[in-house]
Structure 1
């Protein structure tokens, strides 16, 4: 075999090996190019579809559909209906949330306002009150005032109100034994008077017993209201008839009464009694008062 022949065979073998190496590489490059163009085209189509969907959504709101003229019109209508329905549901949900928040806020403000008014009302109720007590040091605590007119009884014209003992005044004035109402409302009015009998020295028990049996005492307590009406209006009346043992040295009786009445601003209330000479103005036993309850 000549040298020329060997050289030709070696060259052919190297070319064949080079082709075998380049062929797979060319196949890979071709596949990569195909894949690149495929995904690039898909991405472009997806972008265009999103743009058309955005335009279609806007068109649905303006009652215009900007889809592909060659596309299916019914499919476009369905998409518009779906989009509008979803948008309506979202708006309804947001409106309900806003309405609930507003209602909750209004209820809270209303409750806070009601609570504040109730506290203010309760505070006002507690401040309107009076309690007057008797005073033994006053020689004359009674008067037969022309104010009574034909009404029976003698008015108690003096009560202790200067915070001595248990007496007090809160937003109520007192004048000539009368409580002057400063605020219209319903009041609980009460009074107690203490009647005290004592035997006089130098008189026999038999004589006194006979007088008692012949002339029993009627003990009466009245509570009046003074309005624009010419005569006072009787609110409460309580009566007892004295009855005691023949051998007793003292006769002690107390009358208490109370009730709820509506009083208006500047109206006045007072207490009157029968047999005023028998009244003991002890501060713990004879008293008069009222307080606002609503």
Structure 2
């Protein structure tokens, strides 16, 4: 005998089953949620208690700390300490990077033309002295009818150390001007005067009382004019040093001059035999201002 179930009755049965399953899932979710909340609260209280009652292990307690690795309190404090150290290290590295970048920006402005918004000059040169064993190659003798005073310094270098050439050439100790304009020109020469104390004691010379006159000249040589033109002059009167130590002196001068293409700049000095071609003490250069 077949049992006939109407569609309405079947739908009520299915709906009841779904409702019972939904209630069971809800009850299970509420139960497990309460259990998780209880465990979380218990863990939080335990962690706070660990942080308040625990002391960081010292170097003498390393062996005892080995036996605490299974302790939950020890694990909590170690994780927190590791997190704090990592955060402090990241912050310290960021501060160091900012500080180093600021220092490099201030100390090395020529490495980044756009660092301070000031462009580099398009034409510039800085040449430094080169020590030479051959005195004739370092200087050119006193001028006789050549139109300039002193002895020309030829031992300049534009490639090594602090020297550089930017759209300028160095030939025979002369800087060649490639472009017309107003240039800032500068020079410094360094002298080492030997002591004459012993010489005066033995020979009775009066040279020490006379002293020495150190002079530095900056000349411009034009292709259309045969005689060089004196741009600047600097001088200093010094006494010959007494005792055993030599006397150290330097002359420095700088100024602006309007130069034409093919003009040449060179340096002459008095007492060239006492001049030291130290690259950091004897140098000259020029750069285009406008």
Q: TM-score, normalised by structure 2?
A: 0.54
Match of 1:278 among 274, 277, 284: 274
Structure 2 residue aligned with 1:40: none
Residue deviations 1:150-206, cap 9 Å, x none? 3211111120112x1100001001111000000111000000000101237973557
Q: Find the residue that maps to 1:203 and give its secondary structure.
A: helix
The yes-or-no answer on 1:160 pairing with 2:160 is no
Unmatched 5+ stretches in structure 2: 1-113
Match of 2:132 among 131, 137, 161: 137
Measured in 2, the distance between the counterparts of 1:286 and 1:209 equals 31
1:207 CA displacement:
4.8
Q: Find the residue that maps to 2:182 and give its secondary structure.
A: strand
Answer yes or no: is the 8 Å Cα contact 1:148–1:231 preserved in 2: no
Measured in 2, the distance between the counterparts of 1:123 and 1:155 equals 35
Structure 2 residue aligned with 1:60: none
Structure 1 residue aligned with 2:180: 184
Q: After the TM superposition, which residues 206-285 of structure 1 pair with which residues of structure 2 at under 5 Å, given as runs?
A: 207=203, 210-213=206-209, 215-227=210-222, 228-243=224-239, 246-247=242-243, 249-285=245-281
**Cα RMSD over matched residues?**
2.7
Answer yes or no: is the 8 Å Cα contact 2:130–2:277 preserved in 1: yes
Q: Find the residue that maps to 2:235 and give its secondary structure.
A: strand
Answer yes or no: is the 8 Å Cα contact 2:187–2:284 preserved in 1: yes
Measured in 1, the distance between the counterparts of 2:155 and 2:187 equals 14
Q: Looking at CA atoms only, which structure, 1 or 2, has the larger radius of gyration?
A: 1
Answer yes or no: is the 8 Å Cα contact 1:125–1:292 preserved in 2: no
- Shift of the 128–229 alpha-carbon distance from structure 1 to 2, 3 Å rule, reads same
- Shift of the 281–188 alpha-carbon distance from structure 1 to 2, 3 Å rule, reads same
Which structure: greater helix fraction?
1
Structure 2 residue aligned with 1:126: 121
1:268 CA displacement:
0.5
Answer yes or no: is the 8 Å Cα contact 1:147–1:231 preserved in 2: no
What number of residue pairs does the alignment pair up?
A: 172
Answer yes or no: is the 8 Å Cα contact 2:196–2:242 preserved in 1: no
- Shift of the 124–182 alpha-carbon distance from structure 1 to 2, 3 Å rule, reads farther
Unmatched 5+ stretches in structure 1: 1-118
Q: Find the residue that maps to 1:155 and give its secondary structure.
A: strand
Q: After the TM superposition, which residues 88-107 of structure 1 pair with which residues of structure 2 at under 5 Å, given as runs?
A: none
Q: Find the residue that maps to 2:254 and give its secondary structure.
A: strand
- Shift of the 205–167 alpha-carbon distance from structure 1 to 2, 3 Å rule, reads farther
Measured in 2, the distance between the counterparts of 1:198 and 1:178 equals 29
Measured in 2, the distance between the counterparts of 1:147 and 1:170 equals 34
